[in-house]
A and B are shown apart, each in its own frame.
Chain A
Amino acid sequence: MTLPTDPTAADWFAVAREHLRDAEQLAMGHSWRNAYGLAGAAAECALKGRIMQHLGLNRWPTRQERRDLYSHGLVDLAKLAGLKPTLEAAVLNAEVVGLAWLVAKDFVINHRYPTQSAFPIKLGRDMVHAVGRDGLLEWLITGKT
């Protein structure tokens, strides 16, 4: 699935779920760098859908209109989606989704590019688990785990 030119929140969520499915497939094949990148992208897409809902947007703004929305930074996107206080509470209450967010928030999109050093397996594994098994993606989309 590709994202339409004028994506709705539902479109972002659909792409997010697809990215997670692909990330989990890649993780099963131990392709950790790519699994990490897609799991992070899944969280990013979910947050962009939540931003649309939070701000009551019926179309995704252009880069000229809202430069701040064109970010891969999950922390910045969570703030724009109005989720920071809830996430903070989940972390302080040591909820599974809170711990998952601590792991996911460090997502660096540029990790997807090959480097001289091997990609840290546990970084990839933890990212995929945080977004998938630990329920972060569903929490970001639905507010429930």
Chain B
Amino acid sequence: MADNGQDMTIDETKQAAGQAILELTDRFGFDALAAGWLYDRPTDTWRYLLVTQMLRSEGPRWIYDRLLRIFQRYHLPDGVSPLDIFVIDEATEMAAFGKPLFAVDQDRTIPGMRMFVTQPITVNEFVVTDGFVAFLRRVPVELRKNHRNPARRFDKTIQKLAA
């Protein structure tokens, strides 16, 4: 796929890996509001982003501690490290995903990822990277008020994992 003359592709392995990570986190009740691969063109790196309201309510340490316990038991797909996974707040989401965030319809993101170019611009106080994002999920903002914070359920399933 190309956009504005810039190459914008994601191979099937990475697509499948992204889907597997999302399914794994869903199985433990993480219930990400949005998830996707973000490609950063200047550094030629991929980041897997999970958007959750738990960042604000519980903090990143609480979240990563639990995610790590999952990843130790159920290995991440080949070629993906826990260091590639970034948990972000809804307030930071637009900065990471850029403006197209508002135009994405969740039902059309799977199967066949929806891909959007991001440009090196500043949105509010955040710098949006030059690259693109491949969405696996994105719950529209207007539907999010119906989504309960999954922290209690997520914590419970992780406790069971340890037992």
Q: Which residues of A come within 8 Å of B, CB atoms? A: 68, 73, 75-76, 84, 87-88, 91-92, 94, 99, 101-103, 105-106, 108, 110-111, 113-115, 117, 120, 122-123, 125-127, 129-130
Whether B59 contacts A88 by the Cβ 8 Å rule is no
Total B residues in contact with A, Cβ cutoff 8 Å: 28
CA distance A87 to B92 in the complex (A): 25
Is B86 on the interface with A (CB-CB < 8 A)? yes
Residue of chain A at shortest CB distance from B91: A117
Tell me the bound Cα distance from A126 to B64 in angstroms.
11
Are B56's CB and A123's CB within 8 A? yes
Which residues of A have CB within 8 Å of B92?
108, 111
A120 engages B56 (CB within 8 Å):
yes
Enumerate 7 A-B pairs (CB-CB under 8 Å) in ascending A order: A73-B43, A92-B82, A103-B64, A108-B126, A120-B55, A122-B55, A122-B61
Cα A111 to Cα B126 in complex, Å, equals: 8
Is B34's beta carbon under 8 Å from chain A? no
Report A-chain residues with C-beta under 8 Å of the C-beta of B62.
122, 126
Minimum Cβ distance to chain B for residue A69 (Å)? 12
Given A91-B68, A110-B126, A117-B91, 8 more A-B residue pairs with CB atoms under 8 Å apart are A91-B82, A92-B81, A99-B61, A99-B68, A120-B59, A122-B62, A126-B61, A130-B61
**B45 CB, nearest partner CB in chain A, Å:** 8
Given that A110-B126, A115-B125 are known contacts, is A122 also in contact with B56, CB under 8 Å in the complex? yes
Is B60's beta carbon under 8 Å from chain A? yes
Which single residue of chain A is at the shortest CB-CB distance from B72? A94
Contact of B83 among A88, A110, A122 (CB under 8 A): A88
Chain B, residues 23-58, CB within 8 Å of chain A (1/0): the string is 000000000000000000001010000000001111
Nearest CB on A from B141, distance (A): 14
Note all chain B residues with C-beta closer than 8 A to A115: 91, 124-125
B65 and A99 form a contact (CB under 8 A): yes
Structural contact, A105 and B61, CB atoms closer than 8 A: no
**List of 9 A-B pairs having minimum Cβ-Cβ separation, nearest first:** A122-B59, A113-B125, A102-B64, A126-B61, A120-B56, A126-B59, A103-B60, A110-B126, A110-B125
Interface presence of B88 (CB below 8 A): yes
- Which residue of chain A has the shortest Cβ distance to B89 in the bound complex? A120
Once bound together, how far apart are the Cα atoms of A125 and B55, in whole Å? 12
Contact of A87 with B60 at beta-carbon distance under 8 Å, contacts A110-B95, A115-B124 already known? no
Known: A99-B65, A99-B68, A117-B91. A106 touches B59 (CB 8 A): no
Contact A94 B68 (CB under 8 A): yes
The answer to whether B95 touches A108, judged by C-beta atoms less than 8 angstroms apart, is yes
CA distance A90 to B64 in the complex (A): 14
State whether A76 touches B55 (Cβ < 8 A): no
